[in-house]
């Protein structure tokens, strides 16, 4: 009675019904009498039978799979995913599972012909694009995607001419919140650490909000306090060293990522500055370590979970033909000790 790789026909034989009835029963069709359905499902369970997804997919033209395309910044040398996106994977996977979708991940380089294949080959019903920061670079690829009627949603800012839909963090608001908070606490000379070139539109947006907070209060911002640099990991300490070497006076630091902020705190402490006494520090991201460094880091948190769920909800909506809109989600300031305003 044990069958090697059972098919619906095997179940049918065992249950004494037609293969069509087995198929209906396993999909919980109301057309099948309950008693029959239960019997069939029991046999299927007994035999460890699972519907062949290839056959079902061939028939229905669906894969019930979402492809997650992560932009590979290393150009193929290394394979490090931008660490910021990693935690999203878990949330995306779970949300997708709740809606009955599997998640296929793929690292894609800019040079790859990454657009159309997943959907055209029926491996995925739609795509989520993570890490495609600079729209201008991808413009043509996105257009090709749209032309091929591929369903996709981008994690990133909403840009007018950009094809498709996107869901992103409102980085301007984030920068605004950080700077407002420091200015509200009486800090007047806030250094800005972060790369705001076109390569990093998110950081540029954070700077925009930072600048706007100064404007709101009619406080000028000294351009000498803005440290731009390429290498993000060491920017914290190098930025501080540079500011000190240049003899800049500052009473606060806003870093575009927590990694930079934490590195900056170290450098400040090493140079004998008290944080937040002498210099307040605010970061961005709320990475796990942020709450555990000393002083605990005040930072701007993007709701990664909410964002992930929204991305999945949108792509599934697109797949199932529902209306979908682009949106920006407001981040939230998490006040801890490093800003000196935690009461």
Using rule CB under 7 A, residue 5 touches DNA: yes
- When the beta carbons of 31 and 217 are compared against DNA, the nearer one is 31
Give 74-134 as a 3 state SS string. Answer: CCCCCCCCCCCCHHHHHHHHHHHHHCCCEEEEEEECCCCCCCCHHHHCCCCCEEEEECCCC
Using rule CB under 8 A, residue 277 touches a copy of itself: no
| Residue from the set 13, 14, 28, 32 that interacts with DNA by CB under 7 A | 32
Provide the terminal-to-terminal Cα distance of the chain, rounded to the nearest Å.
72
Using rule CB under 7 A, residue 45 touches DNA: no
Burial of 144 (0-12, 13-18, 19+ CB in 10 A): middle
* Chosen from DNA, a copy of itself, none, partner binding at 30 (C-beta under 5 to 8 Å by type): DNA
Using rule CB under 8 A, residue 313 touches a copy of itself: no
Angle at 280 between CA 168 and CA 217, to 5 degrees: 70
* Chosen from a copy of itself, DNA, none, partner binding at 97 (C-beta under 5 to 8 Å by type): a copy of itself
- When the beta carbons of 67 and 183 are compared against a copy of itself, the nearer one is 67
DSSP state of 217: T
Using rule CB under 7 A, residue 217 touches DNA: no
- When the beta carbons of 176 and 262 are compared against a copy of itself, the nearer one is 262
User: Under a CB-based contact definition with an 8 Å cutoff, are residues 42 and 35 in contact?
Assistant: no
Burial of 104 (0-12, 13-18, 19+ CB in 10 A): middle
- When the beta carbons of 8 and 299 are compared against DNA, the nearer one is 8
- Min dist. Cβ of residue 309 to DNA (A): 27
Residues 239-268 that bind DNA (CB under 7 A): none
- When the beta carbons of 137 and 294 are compared against a copy of itself, the nearer one is 294
* Chosen from a copy of itself, DNA, none, partner binding at 18 (C-beta under 5 to 8 Å by type): DNA
168: left (phi over 0), alpha (psi -120 to 50) or beta: beta
Strand partners for 65: 102
* Chosen from a copy of itself, DNA, none, partner binding at 31 (C-beta under 5 to 8 Å by type): DNA
Q: What x-and-dash track marks residues 54-73 binding DNA by CB under 7 A?
A: -xx-xxxx------------
- Min dist. Cβ of residue 183 to a copy of itself (A): 28
Query: How far is Cα 11 from Cα 68, in angstroms, rounded to an integer?
Result: 35
* Chosen from DNA, a copy of itself, none, partner binding at 171 (C-beta under 5 to 8 Å by type): none
The two tokens of residue 44 are: 């299927």
H or E element in which residue 183 lies = helix 171-184
Query: How far is Cα 207 from Cα 192, in angstroms, rounded to an integer?
Result: 8
Query: How far is Cα 147 from Cα 343, in angstroms, rounded to an integer?
Result: 55
- When the beta carbons of 69 and 300 are compared against a copy of itself, the nearer one is 69
- When the beta carbons of 5 and 160 are compared against DNA, the nearer one is 5
- When the beta carbons of 52 and 306 are compared against DNA, the nearer one is 52
The two tokens of residue 174 are: 């984030």
* Chosen from a copy of itself, DNA, none, partner binding at 294 (C-beta under 5 to 8 Å by type): a copy of itself
The closest of 315, 307, 323 to 64, measured between CA atoms, is 315
Residue 182's CB: how many other CB atoms inside 10 A?
Answer: 27
Query: How far is Cα 77 from Cα 330, in angstroms, rounded to an integer?
Result: 35
| Residues binding DNA (CB under 7 A) | 5, 7-9, 16-21, 23-24, 26-27, 30-34, 36-37, 49, 51-52, 55-56, 58-61
| Residues binding a copy of itself (CB under 8 A) | 5, 48-55, 57-58, 63, 65, 70, 72, 76, 78-81, 83, 86-87, 89-91, 93-95, 97, 102-107, 116-117, 120-123, 148, 233-234, 236-237, 259, 262-263, 266-267, 269-270, 288-289, 291-294, 305, 308
């Amino acid at each position: 009675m044990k069958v090697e790789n059972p098919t619906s026909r095997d179940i049918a034989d065992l249950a004494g019904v037609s293969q069509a009835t087995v198929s209906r029963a396993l999909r919980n069709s109301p057309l099948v009498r309950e008693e029959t359905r239960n019997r069939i499902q029991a046999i299927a369970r007994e035999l460890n039978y699972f519907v062949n997804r290839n056959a079902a997919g061939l028939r229905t033209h669906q894969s019930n799979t979402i492809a997650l395309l992560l932009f590979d910044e290393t150009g193929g040398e290394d394979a490090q995913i931008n660490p910021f996106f990693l935690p999203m994977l878990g949330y995306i996977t779970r949300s997708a599972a709740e809606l009955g979708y599997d998640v296929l991940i793929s690292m894609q380089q800019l040079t790859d012909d990454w657009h159309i294949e997943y959907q055209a080959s029926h491996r995925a019903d739609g795509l989520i694009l993570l890490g495609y920061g600079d729209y201008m670079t991808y413009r043509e690829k996105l257009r090709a995607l749209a032309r091929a009627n591929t369903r996709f949603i981008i994690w990133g800012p909403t840009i007018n001419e950009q094809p498709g839909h996107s869901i992103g963090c409102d980085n301007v608001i984030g920068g605004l919140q950080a700077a407002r908070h420091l200015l509200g606490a009486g800090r007047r000379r806030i250094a800005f650490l972060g790369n705001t070139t076109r390569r990093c539109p998110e950081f540029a947006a954070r700077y925009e909000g930072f600048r706007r907070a100064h404007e709101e209060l009619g406080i000028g911002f000294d351009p000498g306090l803005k440290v731009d640099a390429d290498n993000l990991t060491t920017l914290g300490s190098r930025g501080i060293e540079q500011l000190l070497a240049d003899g800049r006076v500052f009473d606060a630091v806003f870093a575009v990522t927590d990694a930079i902020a934490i590195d900056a705190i170290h450098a400040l402490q090493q140079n004998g500055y008290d944080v937040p006494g002498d210099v307040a520090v605010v970061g961005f991201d709320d990475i796990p370590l942020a709450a555990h460094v000393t002083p605990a880091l005040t930072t701007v948190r993007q709701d990664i979970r909410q964002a992930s769920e929204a991305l999945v909800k949108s792509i599934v909506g697109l797949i199932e033909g529902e209306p979908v809109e682009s949106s920006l989600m407001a981040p939230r300031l998490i006040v801890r000790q490093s800003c000196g305003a935690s009461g």
